[in-house]
Structure 1
Amino acid sequence: MTTTATFERQTKALIDDLKSVCANYGLGNDGNEFKIITQVFLYKFLNDKFVHEIKRLEPKLAKAENWEVELKKYSPNDYEMLMMQLSESTAHLKPKQFISSLFERQNEANFAEIFDTTLLEIAKENSDIFSVVTEGGEKIVLFENISKYVTDKRDDFCKAIINKLIGFSFENIFHEKFDFYATIFEYLISDYNTNSGGKYAEYFTPHAVAKIMASCLVTQVEKDVTCYDPSAGSGTLLMNLAHAIGEDKCTIYSQDISQKSSNLLRLNLILNDLVHSIPNIVKGNTILEPYHKDANGKLKQFDFIVSNPPFKLDFSDYVADLDTKENHDRFFAGMPNVPKAKKEGMAIYPLFIQHIMHTLSAKGKAAIVVPTGFITAQSGIERKIRERLVEQKMLRGVISMPSNIFATTGTNVSILFIDNANKKGNIVLMDASKLGTTVKEGKNQKTLLSQDEEQKIINTFNNHEAIEDFTVVLSYDQIKEKNYSFSAGQYFEVKIEYTDITKSEFEAKMNSFKSNLDSLFAESKTLEKEIQKQLEGLKYE
């Protein structure tokens, strides 16, 4: 029996083979390489999922010596009936669109055109289920012309791709669960998830942070809930959240300004059996034009919200556009200032926090990655947001993470937890900054948490445990008394160490202190006389 480790190794080998083909045709580390790799991988996955599903629905296909030959015997009506029985997460394919069919046609003239046309037809025929939408209502379909990125020998390039896809099947791994696909997804995009200097940096949230956020949010059995990320990136936070709730018990919503991120999130949803949520994935500017609304035009409210928003970003071009009547409630604490020197240093994350507070349902919960400076800022928007969280009794707690938990940024981060149902208080503030092991990752330092440390954070937070120098459990009034500080360290007791000594030892110490002080005073007087002499000498000169 093939093990999960074997499946994982084979899948990673396929990804490596596809990257090798791209490198051989001049696309290694090219800006378009990730589009080819992710789309080809997705085509392979959907092809094998289709084969897996039809064999499950039709035992005679599973038993056939050649399932494809047997399937081609179906009449158009019988084939259509079979398509109607497929699950919504399975793309509808025609026999001519199978990888095996393209493999057989690879020596035909203009094979690149045949290859591209096949992908475009699949995208068009499945656009209702698999398309990401833009805030303007345009559909971003599954596939595009792959061969256009190759300047020469396009037919040979597409042949090389097809020959890599034919030798391995995903059929036996569709029963695998979240952890397997999370590993594959991270491997698939590992070379392409860097900040390329664009306005919206696509942060890949470390798995440990995503797991802690999801585990501290989902503490009971949930059913038919909505999950939202207004700055979704490639979807790591949403995938962890959906897995904690149950993929069949939640619906995902997201918005992100990056088309690259939206495409990666779609891939993540397909891998993790969340295809039903793809129509809710929107490419757009959440702060300026939030997309998800109810029938009455008001912003939709969500049961669970997770976010690792960009901390800083130049949004000076549209600050004035945000000053509308509709936005006064949403951005109750106001707009961050525009720095005179570096506009890209504008703090945008406070707008995301306010947006999340505004779109949280009456009993909703949220977890947001914030710079640790947010939890103690004494003035400005950050202070106003903290006051509102306490005054409206929305705060659940804060976990201050170790430095360098994100290898891509030196900014210390904390996780802010909001809970609209936490009216009585019982707020947990945690200082987890001393946990973890520092390792070198490229040129950067990175802190890794062990599984035991992750579990310690989750259990302590969820059990409301007060542990010396690690956590405090507080009421809203206690936080008000401390000037609305969300830093655990400001609530830790100051330790004063006592040492038992005898009366004679105490007198000896006091005499020693007195002798030292007398000596210092005498020295001070001598110096004072010396300085006075010099000053008088200068006066007469």
Structure 2
Amino acid sequence: MSEDQKKILESQLWGIANLLRGKISADDYRDYILGFIFYKYLSEKQTLYANELLVGEAVTDYKTVTDKETLDAIKEESLLKLGYFLEPSQLFSVLAAKGNADIESESNYILEDLKSVLNHIEQSTMGTESEEDFNALFEDLDLNSTKIGRTVGARNEIIVKILNYLDKIDFKLEEIDSDVLGDAYEYLIARFAAGAGKSAGEFYTPQQVSKILSKIVTTGKSKIKSVYDPTCGSGSLLLRVAKEADVSEFYGQELGRTTYNLARMNMILHDVHFREFNIVQEDTLENPQHLDKRFEAVVANPPFSAHWKSDANPLFNTDERFSQYGRLAPKTKADYAFLTHMLYQLADNGIMASVFPHGVLFRGAAEGHIREYIIKEMNALDAVIGLPANIFYGTSIPTCIMVLKKCREVDDNIVFIDASGEDHYIKNGNQNTLRDEDVERIVDTYRKRETIDKYSYVATLAEIAENDYNLNIPRYVDTFEAEEPVDLDVVSAQLKGIETDLQSTNETIAGFCAELNISTPF
């Protein structure tokens, strides 16, 4: 039943985008739609929890509570349980109703009230455990922005339209599994990513790729103490791991402010308690925030071949994340900087799985030196998985997944999987998409460490060394399809038959030409 509910909810929520299409660009209304869905969620969550506290009291409907002592008690409990507090007059439904008032009377102006409520949500957490998780959470909802309307009246009209539409949707928080609304929210993020072009890769990893990474890092485990993503985007990859195993703590770091806000909203909307996640906004390579921790699962989709300031910061030469390899990743290609950072943060019993461009498998110089050290000295590389081209938003380049462990159970070989062939994905508009069966085959092959003709190969470390630690997948997985042998006798007979047919046709044409008393064309 929850699957049906989710599809209905997805359709309803995406309807807002259709409502605004042509009035505001998708890039502009994305943050407003996602932000107001989150505000409605917080309001409904507050109402449900407050009503639980009011059971047995004289007033049992939170929306009608006016007694200050009662409100203070509810606020105290809400800050502990929910991490924030909303008064009855600040609930989503109240503002939506005001916005739906008679337009002629101008009493439907709600922008200032809405600004005040969003600020209050953040301010209610000040001095509490959840302050960091709610700080400046709604800063991207600029209600004065001309992007949503050139005049105050035009902006108010757009905001009222969004709130009224959302107010008619019942989130049914008391009935449905928390993942239903969370997954519907993820669906919206994915839809926005699909239309966002190059910037989409900054905040969203395609769901099927997320499945592969999360299934790999949870191999053999039903519970994970902690999962970490150093470039967490909207947090979708972290949350995907929680679908494969019980996760106690989520950690992430994200550079982009808007995306960082989205990640925190996504966590809370998936009913992850504020004490269970720690997501911070900082440059992971320049200013890592969790270096004192080691994580049982590490997943990531870092920016491909990003620039970093390796040559401008001499401290990197002594940084424990990079110094043992003897070389730093090139300043124009930070892929191995991210990789070694993640490996540093990985627990001894953990698994790391991350997406990279294919160049990390074979590029030489400093990258080749680091790659050799990881394989030869650390024996940390467990698998290399080639993915189809054009499966990521904003780029068509082929990519791969590298799987690493500090303490490998099978420590004398590396599994190579080539899932890039046309038989291993389907076309979906402009994108290539992995099917569920493609995902399962990749994960199953990794776990069983099988050699499968034209698909996978288990290479010994000696073979890797013979190839000078070049990990280019075609060196190990032979996908060459031999052509059918040609029978020259059959071809010769076919040619003779064609010649006979041609001669007969020419004679027929010559006869027609004679009847018409014209010369033949040959």
Q: TM-score range by the shorter chain?
A: 0.7 to 0.9
Conserved in 2, the CA contact under 8 Å of 1:436 and 1:447?
no
- The alpha-carbon deviation at position 239 of structure 1 amounts to 1.3
In the other structure, the counterpart of 2:447 is: 462
Conserved in 2, the CA contact under 8 Å of 1:203 and 1:233?
yes
Conserved in 1, the CA contact under 8 Å of 2:12 and 2:169?
no
Letter in 1 for 2:125: N
Pairing of 1:83-162 with structure 2 (within 5 A): 84=77, 88-89=81-82, 91-106=84-99, 107=101, 108=107, 111-126=110-125, 128=128, 139-142=135-138, 146-149=142-145, 150-152=149-151, 153=153, 154-162=155-163
Letter in 1 for 2:144: K
Alignment partner of 1:253 is 2:246: no
Distance, in Å, in 2 between the alignment partners of 1:324 and 1:378 is 20
Q: Which runs of 5+ in 2 are unaligned?
A: 102-106, 483-522
- The alpha-carbon deviation at position 415 of structure 1 amounts to 0.4
Letter in 1 for 2:279: I
- Aligned CA distance change for structure 1 residues 155 and 272 (closer, same or farther; 3 Å): closer
Pairing of 1:100-249 with structure 2 (within 5 A): 100-106=93-99, 107=101, 108=107, 111-126=110-125, 128=128, 139-142=135-138, 146-149=142-145, 150-152=149-151, 153=153, 154-172=155-173, 175-176=176-177, 178=179, 181-188=182-189, 190-191=191-192, 202=202, 204-223=204-223, 225-246=225-246, 249=247
Conserved in 2, the CA contact under 8 Å of 1:386 and 1:484?
yes
Distance, in Å, in 2 between the alignment partners of 1:436 and 1:416 is 19
Pairing of 1:471-490 with structure 2 (within 5 A): 471-490=456-475
- The alpha-carbon deviation at position 91 of structure 1 amounts to 3.7
Letter in 2 for 1:283: Q
Letter in 2 for 1:436: H
- Aligned CA distance change for structure 1 residues 93 and 467 (closer, same or farther; 3 Å): same
- Aligned CA distance change for structure 1 residues 60 and 462 (closer, same or farther; 3 Å): farther
- The alpha-carbon deviation at position 255 of structure 1 amounts to 1.1
- The alpha-carbon deviation at position 82 of structure 1 amounts to 7.5
In the other structure, the counterpart of 1:330 is: 322
Greater shift after overlay, 233-242 or 383-392? 383-392
Conserved in 1, the CA contact under 8 Å of 2:33 and 2:162?
no
- Aligned CA distance change for structure 1 residues 57 and 243 (closer, same or farther; 3 Å): farther
Conserved in 1, the CA contact under 8 Å of 2:10 and 2:184?
no
**Can you list the C-alpha shifts for 1:126-155, whole angstroms capped at 9, x where unaligned?**
35465557xxxx943345664212432044
Letter in 2 for 1:164: Y
Conserved in 2, the CA contact under 8 Å of 1:256 and 1:285?
yes
TM-score, structure 2 length as denominator?
0.78
- Aligned CA distance change for structure 1 residues 112 and 81 (closer, same or farther; 3 Å): closer
Distance, in Å, in 2 between the alignment partners of 1:368 and 1:477 is 25
- Aligned CA distance change for structure 1 residues 183 and 458 (closer, same or farther; 3 Å): farther
Conserved in 2, the CA contact under 8 Å of 1:178 and 1:243?
no
Alignment partner of 1:429 is 2:416: yes
Letter in 1 for 2:296: D
- Aligned CA distance change for structure 1 residues 99 and 178 (closer, same or farther; 3 Å): closer
Give the secondary structure class of the aligned counterpart of 1:399: strand
In the other structure, the counterpart of 2:11 is: 12
Alignment partner of 1:449 is 2:441: no
Letter in 1 for 2:433: L
**Can you list the C-alpha shifts for 1:408-427, whole angstroms capped at 9, x where unaligned?**
32211110000112054153
Conserved in 2, the CA contact under 8 Å of 1:221 and 1:245?
yes
Conserved in 1, the CA contact under 8 Å of 2:45 and 2:173?
no
- Aligned CA distance change for structure 1 residues 132 and 416 (closer, same or farther; 3 Å): farther
Q: 2:268 aligns with which of 267, 270, 288?
A: 270
Distance, in Å, in 1 between the alignment partners of 2:415 and 2:266 is 32
**Can you list the C-alpha shifts for 1:85-123, whole angstroms capped at 9, x where unaligned?**
787346422111112332454454753211211121112
Q: 2:287 aligns with which of 271, 286, 289?
A: 289
Give the secondary structure class of the aligned counterpart of 1:369: strand
Letter in 2 for 1:394: A
Distance, in Å, in 2 between the alignment partners of 1:235 and 1:468 is 37
- Aligned CA distance change for structure 1 residues 277 and 481 (closer, same or farther; 3 Å): farther
Distance, in Å, in 2 between the alignment partners of 1:171 and 1:87 is 23
In the other structure, the counterpart of 1:321 is: 313
Letter in 1 for 2:31: K
Conserved in 2, the CA contact under 8 Å of 1:12 and 1:187?
no
How many residues align? The count is: 468
- The alpha-carbon deviation at position 477 of structure 1 amounts to 3.7
Letter in 2 for 1:84: E
Distance, in Å, in 1 between the alignment partners of 2:73 and 2:427 is 55
TM-score, structure 1 length as denominator?
0.76
- Aligned CA distance change for structure 1 residues 460 and 82 (closer, same or farther; 3 Å): same
Letter in 2 for 1:456: R
**Can you list the C-alpha shifts for 1:356-375, whole angstroms capped at 9, x where unaligned?**
12222222210011112322
Conserved in 2, the CA contact under 8 Å of 1:231 and 1:308?
yes
Give the secondary structure class of the aligned counterpart of 2:86: coil
Letter in 2 for 1:204: Y
Distance, in Å, in 2 between the alignment partners of 1:267 and 1:164 is 20
Give the secondary structure class of the aligned counterpart of 2:313: helix
Give the secondary structure class of the aligned counterpart of 2:144: helix
In the other structure, the counterpart of 1:529 is: none
In the other structure, the counterpart of 2:61 is: 67
Give the secondary structure class of the aligned counterpart of 1:190: helix
In the other structure, the counterpart of 1:348 is: 334
In the other structure, the counterpart of 2:304 is: 311
Letter in 2 for 1:451: D
- The alpha-carbon deviation at position 29 of structure 1 amounts to 0.8
Distance, in Å, in 1 between the alignment partners of 2:67 and 2:224 is 38
- The alpha-carbon deviation at position 210 of structure 1 amounts to 0.8
Conserved in 2, the CA contact under 8 Å of 1:99 and 1:165?
no
Letter in 1 for 2:65: K
Pairing of 1:382-397 with structure 2 (within 5 A): 382-397=368-383
In the other structure, the counterpart of 1:537 is: none
Distance, in Å, in 2 between the alignment partners of 1:146 and 1:495 is 55
Q: 2:427 aligns with which of 406, 414, 439?
A: 439
Distance, in Å, in 1 between the alignment partners of 2:163 and 2:480 is 68
